[in-house]
Amino acid sequence: MKPIYFPEPFRIKSVEPLKMLTREEREEKIAKADYNVFYLASKDVYIDLLTDSGTGAMSSDQWAGVMLGDESYAGADCYFKVQEVAKKIFGMPYIQLVHQGRAAEKVLLPILLNGKKYAISNMHFDTTRAHVELAGARAIDCVVPEALDTTAQYDFKGNMDCKRLEKYINELGAENIGVIIMTITNNSAGGQPVSVKNIRETRAIARKYGIKFMIDAARYAENSYFVKQREPEFKNSSIADIIKASFEDADCFTMSSKKDAIVNMGGLIGCRDKELFELVKQRTISFEGFITYGGMSGRDIEALARGLEEGVDENYLRYRIGQMQYLAARLDEGGIPYQSPVGGHAVFIDAKKLLPHIPYYEFPAQALAIELYREAGIRACDIGSYMLGNDPDTGKQLEAEFEFTRLAIPRRVYTQSHLDVIADALINIKERASSIKGYKIVEEPPILRHFTAKLKPIK
């Protein structure tokens, strides 16, 4: 029986032309880009899967809001509107605008960490880890072991390993831990969902030891949709109720609005406690701007207020997660290995399995990303040893746990035909997999090298 997928709950009113270059042109462009996809011009890309962050398509209602955005320095109309919507959705009494997710982290994390030594999370996103470290603390990941096996079929591969969490707290001392962070969905594990049961258990542990509990809420809506599908307690609940249950009793949250709120730029901080909020406001004024705009334009705030509501619409979420599941089903047919079951915002292809002849130090996931561009003008990126980089002490290449080529799917941007192009390209690549060569780095900066390094194919 053929599974039924869920079609787009919208029609297209405005289009952006795309051109697929010829294979020869693509060969030339990727060589000119020194085999680093970040150096490609977007006009030379046919399907851009570099990220789902800030790349979504706004609705006609959001675009109408852009014209109504109030650009007043203080007390703009859109400020009151976004406050009202965010308080309703997240059930938090205090909401602060900032310009993106990492700005929220920059404002909030030093307040929570304030001299403490550790933050523990199911998995820190890379900017979250950076801000924990900038605040002088260490970031510890504590995801369930199922997340590390790409073939393990488990409903909530993003969950916190609560037993290990409690062990860490006892070993490190509760007084040394500034915050416990729950990232929903768990981006770094492949957009994998976290159950409400697991959120509750983690929160109870935080309470027991008097540690602050924070949610990294970038994909609050996609996570809630998975909960509705997979957690029996919530099968008849609305998405709104599941979000309430997830955020209930959390001390605070940070959010990148560039994901589930479907805007190109924006972020939020939520707090339950007035004292914490006062500190957040002070730091926001120094780093982001006055509290009623927090580093955002009025027009973007208006679009955000509308996007927050569109992002929790169940028909939209069914289509959104359905796209991921459609692509995954086509990969199953073609025998392409990926982090399974598929997560909420991306398909993570297991390049270690697809290109087993390329060792980690010749970057199989980067080789696959380049092959996807050669094959069909698709831009994906390496989440593996190439991204991980060198050991800072020895200068030796580190070996990553996974060699993933990430296909992040922008929201409401590509059609099912585009998804077919992606699947067909991967199936073609699989047929000639054994002839694909690895890469070596010829130039690299000391940190975050994947953005700017230059590479060469190995002969």
Residues marked active site are found at: 73, 125-126, 216, 218, 259, 450
**Alpha-carbon distances, residue 104 vs 89, 188, 209, 281 (angstroms):** 18, 19, 25, 11
Run of H or E residues at 54: none
Other CB atoms within a 10 A radius of the CB of residue 155 amount to 16
Q: Tell me if 253 contacts ligand PLP by CB under 6 A.
A: no
Smaller CB distance to ligand PLP: residue 224 or 397?
224
Q: What stretches of 287-433 adopt beta strand conformation (E)?
A: 346-350, 378-379, 381-383, 404-408
The one among 55, 100, 192, 198 contacting ligand PLP by CB under 6 A: 100
Least distance in angstroms from the C-beta of 38 to ligand PLP: 15
Burial of 300 (C-beta count, 10 Å sphere; 0-12/13-18/19+): buried
Only segment of 58-66, 125-133, 242-250, 319-327 that touches ligand PLP (CB under 6 A): 125-133
**Exactly one of 55, 59, 121, 128 binds ligand PLP (CB under 6 A); which one?**
128
Please name which of 304, 114, 121 lies closest in space to residue 215, comparing C-alpha atoms.
Answer: 121
One of 91, 101, 344, 364 touching ligand PLP (CB under 6 A): 101
Nearer Cβ to ligand PLP (263/354): 263
Q: Is 406 in the site for ligand PLP (CB under 6 A)?
A: no
3-state DSSP call for residue 28?
helix
Omega before residue 254 within 30° of 0, cis:
no
Structure tokens at 358: 């390329």
Choosing from 127, 198, 284, 397, the residue that interacts with ligand PLP (CB under 6 A) is 127
DSSP 181: E
By CB under 6 A, is residue 294 in contact with ligand PLP? no
Whole-number minimum distance, CB 143 to ligand PLP, in Å? 13
Those residues whose C-beta lies under 8 Å from the C-beta of residue 134, and which sit 6 or more positions away, are 106, 110
Q: How many residues does the chain have?
A: 459
Q: How far is CA 371 from CA 40, 306, 426, 442, in A?
A: 14, 39, 9, 19
The pattern of x and - marking residues 214 through 243 that bind ligand PLP according to CB under 6 A reads --x-x-------------------------
Considering only 29, 81, 102, 203, the residue that binds ligand PLP (CB under 6 A) is 102
Which tokens hold the place of 382?
A: 């390496």
Identity of the residue, 51 or 237, whose beta carbon is nearer to ligand PLP in the bound complex: 51
Nearest distance in Å: CB 217, ligand PLP = 8
Toward ligand PLP, which CB reaches closer, 110 or 267?
A: 267
Nearest to 56 by CA among 258, 245, 282: 258
User: Helix, strand, coil proportions of the chain in percent (round to 5)?
Assistant: 45, 15, 40
Q: Does 62 bind ligand PLP (CB under 6 A)?
A: no
341: preceding bond cis by omega (within 30 degrees): yes
CB closest to ligand PLP, residue no: 101
Chosen residue from 29, 129, 131, 258 binding ligand PLP by CB under 6 A: 258
Q: Under rule CB under 6 A, how many of the chain's residues touch ligand PLP?
A: 15
53 interacts with ligand PLP by CB under 6 A: yes
Residues in touch with ligand PLP (CB under 6 A): 53, 100-102, 125, 127-128, 183, 187, 216, 218, 256, 258-259, 267
